[in-house]
Amino acid sequence: MLNTLNRRSLLAALALSASVALVPAGAGAQDKQKIKLGFIGPISGGNAQQGLGAKNGFLLAIDQANADDYPYEVEGVVLDDASDPQTGVGAALKLVNDPEVVAAIGHWNSPVALATIPVFNRAQMPFIVWGAISPKITDQNLPEVTRVTPTLLAENLPLAHWAASDLGAKKIAIVSDTSDYGTGNADAFTQFFTDAGGAIDSTDLLPVGTTDFRAVLTKIKDAGADAIYFGGVITEAGILRKQEEEIGLDIPMIGISGFYDPEFIKLAGDAAEGTMVSYPAAQSNPRLDQMHADYDAHGFAEPESPYTKYAYEATNILLTAIREVGIDDKVALAKAIRGMSHEGVLGTTTFDANGQTEIPVEVEIKVVKGGEWVTLDK
């Protein structure tokens, strides 16, 4: 008993002396409090390209803040959700349980975001969604949650109108996955396309991880649809497109940003040619150009992905809010984010009553040509 007590007090004394010894050194350099910001996204698995690009956007914003005269020393905590809700919740719990983490951004996959936002809500940790686009995420209006990307409604509406008029499709077959994202897309496109005067031939929802679409494609071929709308993400999109060509089904495949990714072209190979997606039009502003240049100069291992700028912007919004309100009052911090009018790479971001970005979306059509995504000429 006495022995342990002695050992303990000895340890305490040691620790004390160590901290005493350390403090002057720290103060001598720069007396900045250390804080952490969290990032969650798919950095492994089929959607990893999207997550890795966004992760780099997040780290870039933090590095720039640290190099600048930011009042805190910021450390980025990067966690993988592997596009899996369970893994995502694990990562979210890790962030909210770390007292140094002030706020976080996350998720490319809507099902993952829908699983983790209650965790951030319970912990009252401000959370900005940089990639997941299901309307349900902001429909819940959790005070901590905001989103810098447009919802899938904003991408599906112009696509449906374009498909009905420019593409001239009358009957479209929908293939999607069974997740919230996939069913959300299927519902949204069905409504917008029928409103635009088209007809939906069939709707087939397959679980994420499906590797054989031939039976469904055979059915679509037999029914004679004018085009296929795919409402899922990259891996399945690549497989579907490849098998569509193999089965001799020569109709266009269209979709939204969910598989706007070079990896899709790699997976589908030559069959990817002519695939069309709607994607928020590239804005050009000096800040965005600066970010592209900074990204290249930073020397990341992975190329920029379409969501790099969203993650970069989300991180900057967090950093700005933290600079204004500090880190002690999380509720005030969340409020500050919502009330913010942020000038950044996306333009002027403001949030509506539900925490959804109010930046108007102008959508353009991207098409695979010569093994690359290019913007379709009007």
- Residues near other proteins (CB under 8 A) are 44-46, 48, 82, 178, 202-207, 209-212, 214-216, 218-219, 221-222, 235, 238-239, 242-243, 246-248, 263, 266-269
Backbone torsion region of residue 65, taken as left when φ is above 0, otherwise alpha when ψ lies between -120 and 50, otherwise beta: alpha
Question: How many helices (H) and strands (E) would you count in the chain?
Answer: 13, 14
What are the residue ranges of helices labelled H in the chain? Answer: 2-29, 48-67, 85-96, 110-122, 136-139, 152-165, 180-195, 214-223, 234-246, 262-268, 286-298, 308-325, 330-338
Q: How far is the CB of 111 from other proteins (least distance, A)?
A: 15
Helix 330-338 with 308-325: angle, nearest 10 deg: 120
Q: How far is the CB of 275 from other proteins (least distance, A)?
A: 15
Q: Which two tokens stand for residue 283?
A: 């804005």
DSSP SS3 for 236: helix
Q: How far is the CB of 225 from other proteins (least distance, A)?
A: 14
The angle subtended at Cα 148 by Cα 53 and Cα 299, nearest 5°, is: 25
The owner of tokens 């920029």 is 304
Q: Tell me which amino acid residue 315 is.
A: T
Burial class (CB in 10 A: 0-12, 13-18, 19+), 273: middle
Q: Which is nearer to other proteins, 74 or 216 (CB)?
A: 216
Q: Which is nearer to other proteins, 68 or 250 (CB)?
A: 250
**Cα(209)–Cα(101) distance, integer angstroms:** 33
Q: How far is the CB of 43 from other proteins (least distance, A)?
A: 9
Q: Which is nearer to other proteins, 83 or 257 (CB)?
A: 83
Q: Which is nearer to other proteins, 40 or 65 (CB)?
A: 40
Q: Which is nearer to other proteins, 46 or 135 (CB)?
A: 46
Cβ–Cβ < 8 Å for 97, 73: no
Q: How far is the CB of 215 from other proteins (least distance, A)?
A: 3
Q: Which is nearer to other proteins, 212 or 296 (CB)?
A: 212
Q: Which is nearer to other proteins, 124 or 218 (CB)?
A: 218
DSSP SS3 for 105: strand
Q: How far is the CB of 264 from other proteins (least distance, A)?
A: 11
Q: How far is the CB of 176 from other proteins (least distance, A)?
A: 10
